[in-house]
Every structure is written in structure tokens, then in C-alpha cells.
């Protein structure tokens, strides 16, 4: 939980979140830039995503989107470790200032060097991906194809694999399938490095277990930041289970309609969280959208209007987590038919606005 190199301070401020359909007031025990430990009477399950309101002393209350990554039983309640997924700029500044004013609990630990494996059949691409990590002191190995990569992972499991797709002997897709079949490698962190840009390819990568997707050519600083985020997320969540239950993608990588079509084809049931200009939740049952809830929308707001607004978002992230979904179906239509109908309405609206100019 949190960012390991960030100071963690003792805290005693108010936290409010929703559990079981009701608002829960709690107290934060300690805080870092990446997350916090909340002591509360009501617990949420691990991987639950929740909107949390924080009231830091002497500062304006603000909201953060968080995910539960750790639970610990306490007398009369529990402690929940939550990771920040989305913080407003002023909220992040408030957290940083609060930490700067607080008392550090224990030593501040530096993140250990990473063990990386770079897999690419192009010599220059391998060197470009390896250099920024070697320069900062990480342990980097480089191989030419998926077969060599599999052998290297079995010999010494890396923290993260930087993986090209199109390679001889064994390509990136085959490598991921081989890892999924081996319990010791099934939860391996994998970042794709490729020139492929189609939604179908990106969705296949995430379906097979990729954690992120970086397009070539890339900037070294962006690659390092993306790799660090993937590794921190895996460590925060205590990633040991071979089964991947959460699918998380950037909107800039895969369009939301493409993901919804994929989830319908796979007949997935669960909750889709979309974080962009605000937050929205879409509940799916057997691939069909049955309910939409957008932050800031009134309870009387039409579900189709809310979904239309969410589909307009072009930047941000979405995360799908499998879970049981009950309640009525607010749309009564397949996802494909619903998306086609909403697209038609949007086209008609755009045509009307153009005609008025």
C-alpha cells in the first residue's frame, strides 16, 4: 500500500466512504502519497473500488478514488489499506503538505532495484528499453525472443518483463500463454512494447495478462514511470494469486466501446469503473450493461444519458473487476444494440447542431 519511498506519517483525520449502501465515518491511522490505512467498523472486500472523502486538518475536504488492497482484523473493527487510484490536483497537494508537516513513522525505505527482463528481436529496441533502467542501477537482462525469455524467467523470475509482440520462434502472445500455464509465472508483471496500435491487439494483450501497453517509439522517462507504476501496483496488492481477476486499461489505449464489446463477447459479469473527468460505474451481467452510475449525476438522471456522457470520455482509465451483479436491468438490450442506438442518436444530434450553424 502506498509508495514505498514516500514518508508515512501518523494521522488522525476523518474519512468517509460508503459500505453496504450507507455512509461510514472512519479515522485514518497513517498516510502516504500513494495510500492510507483506515480504521473502521465496516470493511470492504479486497479489490473493491470506493470513493473516499478526506478531511485533513485545516484544509478543504476532497474526494479520492481508492482501491482496497489489504485488510487486517482489529478489536471492534478492522484496518483497511487503500491505494489511491485517482486524486484531484489540489487533493494531492494537500496530502503532500500534510505529510511534510507530519511525523515520519519509522525509517523511509528506498525502493529496491528492479529485476527486469527485456524481450525484443531488434538490437536497437532492446538497448533503448534497457538503458534507462541500467543507468539507475536496476538489474537488466535482455533476450531476443519469447523462447529465450521463458527460459530466463524459469531460471530467475523477474519483477517485470518488457515484451515485444512480433518475434521469431516464440512471439509475445505465445510467451504470455506459456506463462499463464505455469503457476510460478502466471502472475508475472508484463509490459508490452510494440508498434501495434489496434484495439483488438491491445484487448488481446490485456486478456492474456499484460499489465500495460507502451507504444513504440517511446520516451525513456515515460517507460520508466509506467514500469514503476505496474510494479508498485503489483506489490501493493500482494500479488500472489495466479488468477487475474481485474482488467485495467487506459482510455488512450483502448476505446471504451471496444472494451464493452469485448466484455459482451466474453459474457463477463462485474463492475466497470471509469475514471476520467469524473468517475462512473457500469454494472454488467453476462456481458450486458444493466446499470450506470455517474458521479455528479442526479438519482433521477436517465441511464442512457449517463452512459452517453461516459462514452464521450477520451482520456482516463477504466478497470473491470468480476463480481456478482444483482438488481433489475435498466436497459433491456444487448450491449451491442445499446451502443449502436446511442451512436445513432449522437450522430443525429451532431447533424442537427451542424444544420443550425
> Which of 199-208, 213-222, 291-300, 332-341 is least confident?
199-208
Strands of the sheet containing 279-285, edge to edge, are 246-250, 317-322, 270-275, 279-285, 288-294
Does some domain include residue 1?
A: no
CA distances from residue 148 to 117, 167, 187, 191 in whole angstroms, order as listed: 10, 11, 19, 17
- Is residue 228 one of the residues assigned to a domain? yes
**pTM exceeds 0.75:** no
**d(C-alpha 176, C-alpha 164), whole Å:** 11
Residues 191 and 232 in one domain: yes
Question: What's the pLDDT at 322?
Answer: 82
Which CATH number covers residue 82? 2.40.10.220
Domain that holds residue 77: 9-101
The answer, yes or no, to whether residue 84 has pLDDT greater than 60, is yes
Together in a domain, 265 and 240: no
Residues 233 and 136 in one domain: yes
The answer to whether the beta carbons of residues 49 and 273 sit under 8 Å apart is yes
Q: Judge contact between 22 and 15, C-beta under 8 A.
A: no
Q: Is residue 109 part of a domain?
A: no
Tally Cβ neighbours within 10 Å of residue 242.
Answer: 14
pLDDT tens track for 91-103: 888 887 777 765 4
Question: Domains in the chain: how many in total?
Answer: 3
Assigned domain for 107 exists: no
Average pLDDT value for residue range 328-333: 92
Among candidates 160, 138, 139, which has minimal Cα distance to 149? 160
Q: Choose the final residue of a domain: 101, 136, 157.
A: 101
Q: Report which DSSP code applies to 111.
A: P
Rounded to the nearest 10 degrees, the angle between the axes of helix 199-208 and helix 256-265 is 50
- Whether 2 is in a domain gets the answer no
286, pLDDT greater than 90: yes
Same domain assignment for residues 86 and 178: no
pLDDT digits (tens, 9 = 90+) for 172-210: 888 888 887 777 787 889 998 877 666 677 777 777 778
Amino acid at each position: 500500500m502506498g509508495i514505498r519511498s514516500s514518508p508515512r506519517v501518523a494521522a488522525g483525520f476523518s474519512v468517509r466512504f460508503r459500505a453496504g449502501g450507507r455512509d461510514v465515518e472512519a479515522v485514518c491511522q497513517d498516510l502516504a502519497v500513494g495510500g492510507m490505512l483506515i480504521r473502521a467498523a465496516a470493511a470492504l472486500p479486497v479489490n473493491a473500488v470506493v470513493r473516499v472523502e478526506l478531511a485533513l486538518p485545516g484544509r478543504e475536504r476532497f474526494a479520492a478514488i481508492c482501491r482496497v488492497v489489504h485488510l487486517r482484523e482489529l478489536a471492534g473493527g478492522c484496518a483497511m489499506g487503500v491505494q489511491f487510484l485517482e486524486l484531484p490536483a489540489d487533493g494531492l497537494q494537500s496530502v503532500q503538505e500534510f505529510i511534510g508537516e507530519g511525523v515520519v513513522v519509522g525509517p523511509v525505505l528506498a525502493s529496491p532495484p528492479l529485476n527486469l527482463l527485456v524481450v525484443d528481436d531488434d538490437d536497437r529496441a532492446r538497448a533503448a528499453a534497457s538503458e534507462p533502467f541500467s543507468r539507475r542501477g536496476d538489474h537488466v537482462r535482455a533476450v531476443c525472443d519469447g523462447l529465450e525469455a521463458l527460459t530466463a524467467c524459469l531460471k530467475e523470475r523477474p519483477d517485470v518483463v518488457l515484451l515485444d509482440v512480433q518475434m521469431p520462434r516464440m512471439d509475445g502472445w505465445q510467451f504470455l500463454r506459456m506463462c499463464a500455464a505455469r503457476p510460478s509465472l502466471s502472475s508475472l508483471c508484463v509490459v508490452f512494447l510494440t508498434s501495434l496500435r489496434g484495439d483488438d491487439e491491445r484487448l488481446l494483450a490485456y486478456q492474456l495478462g499484460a499489465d500495460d501497453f507502451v507504444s513504440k517509439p517511446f520516451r525513456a522517462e515515460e517507460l520508466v514511470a509506467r514500469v514503476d507504476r505496474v510494479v508498485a501496483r503489483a506489490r501493493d496488492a500482494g500479488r500472489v494469486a495466479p488468477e487475474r481477476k481485474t482488467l485495467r486499461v487506459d482510455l488512450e489505449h483502448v476505446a471504451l466501446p471496444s472494451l464493452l464489446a469485448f466484455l459482451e463477447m466474453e459474457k463477463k459479469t462485474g463492475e466497470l469503473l471509469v475514471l476520467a473527468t469524473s468517475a462512473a460505474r457500469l454494472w454488467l451481467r453476462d456481458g450486458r450493461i444493466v446499470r450506470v452510475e455517474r458521479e455528479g449525476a442526479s438519482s433521477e438522471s436517465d441511464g442512457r444519458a449517463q452512459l452517453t456522457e461516459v462514452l464521450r470520455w477520451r482520456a482516463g482509465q477504466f478497470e473491470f473487476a468480476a463480481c456478482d451483479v444483482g438488481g433489475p436491468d435498466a436497459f433491456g438490450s444487448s450491449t451491442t444494440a445499446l451502443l449502436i442506438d446511442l451512436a445513432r442518436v449522437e450522430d443525429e444530434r451532431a447533424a442537427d447542431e451542424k444544420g443550425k450553424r
